[in-house]
Amino acid sequence: MKQNYKVVLKYDGSRYNGWQKQGNTKNTIQEKLENIMSDIAGEKIEVFGSGRTDAGTHAWGQVANFHMDWAETEKALFERINALLPEDIAVISLEKAENRFHARLNAKAKKYVYRIWNSSVSPVFERKYVFVNETKLDVESMKKGANYLIGEHDFKNYCSNKRMKKSTVRNLYSIEFVQKEQELQIVYLGNGFLYNMVRIITGTLIEVGEGKRTAESVRAVFEGQNRQCAGFTAPAKGLVLAEVYYDKR
């Protein structure tokens, strides 16, 4: 039986069409990894990620697993993979896992960070990783709006997938705001996230911070008719998959 391996990755998603491999492009993180693993193993290797990240979205702690025959040490495999990866993708840890471990199916919670540059001065070195919003944001109002999102709700109106057939109920455990000079980080922790959910919530909260909508309107989105009740979809480049948890939070 092949050994199951768990890896944690970080990547700059700027030039990729997201995590998940697609029929119309080979430029995805998953496909890059599978090609490298397959070259190492000498046979087709399938890589399972903890979840999709959109085109242009980054990761500090994406988790994946794969099954492979490998006669050498974990350290040797770790070094071999990193030697073949492009400079904007890196494996930061690799370990043997139980055979039944699955990066997506066993995930209990995920943490995402959305980074907003709230200044008229260009973030020269961080420009690919933050959303520049020059309008001064009322963070206290954003916090009030965010409070309405905490807990278990049907987030269908905070989702871009109009044809979602599975349950759109998710549990948001916390939303924290971290100010680092000109950068405002919004940190989301939940048991799962729908397509574009974090980006739509962020866009909605930004509109609250700009005074374009009230904090109470964030709650009203749940009772709204469709996705248009929520705010704009914040750009992918400000979003980072920070961490995936496999124990209950």
pLDDT of residue 233: 97
What would the pLDDT profile of 67-99 be if each residue is shown by its tens digit? 999 999 999 999 999 999 999 999 999 999 999
Assessment of whether the complete model's pTM goes beyond 0.75:
yes
pLDDT of residue 73: 95
Return the number of other C-beta atoms located less than 10 Å from residue 181's C-beta: 8
Query: Which segment, 54-68, 161-175, 215-229, is predicted with the most confidence on average?
Result: 54-68
pLDDT of residue 161: 80
- Domain 109-245 class in CATH: alpha beta
Q: Evaluate whether 154 touches 213 at the Cβ level (below 8 Å).
A: no
Strand 48-49 and strand 58-68: pairing?
antiparallel
What gap in Å lies between CA 56 and CA 17, rounded to an integer?
Answer: 7
Assign 248 a pLDDT band (cuts: 50, 70, 90).
low
Mean pLDDT over all residues of the chain?
A: 94
What would the pLDDT profile of 42-74 be if each residue is shown by its tens digit? 999 999 999 999 999 999 999 999 999 999 999
Distances (CA, A) of 142 to 139, 206, 208, 211: 5, 7, 6, 10
What would the pLDDT profile of 7-39 be if each residue is shown by its tens digit? 999 999 999 999 998 877 779 999 999 999 999
Report the phi/psi class of residue 148: left, alpha or beta, with left for phi > 0 and alpha for psi in -120 to 50.
Answer: alpha
For residues 228 and 92, which has the higher predicted lDDT (pLDDT)? 92
Asked if domains 3-97 and 109-245 share a fold, the reply is: yes
Assign 200 a pLDDT band (cuts: 50, 70, 90).
very high
Domain made up of 3-97: CATH architecture: 2-Layer Sandwich (3.30)
Please determine, for residue 224, whether its predicted confidence score (pLDDT) is greater than 60: yes
Please determine, for residue 249, whether its predicted confidence score (pLDDT) is greater than 70: no
What would the pLDDT profile of 119-164 be if each residue is shown by its tens digit? 999 999 999 999 999 999 999 999 999 999 999 999 999 998 877 7
Please determine, for residue 227, whether its predicted confidence score (pLDDT) is greater than 70: yes
pLDDT of residue 162: 75
Give the CA count within 13 Å in the CB-facing half-sphere of 207. 19
Q: Which residues are the active-site residues?
A: 54
Distance separating the N- and C-terminal Cα atoms of the chain: 32
What gap in Å lies between CA 84 and CA 45, rounded to an integer?
Answer: 15
pLDDT of residue 23: 74
Please determine, for residue 118, whether its predicted confidence score (pLDDT) is greater than 80: yes
pLDDT of residue 179: 95
- Domain parsing of the chain, residue ranges: 3-97, 109-245
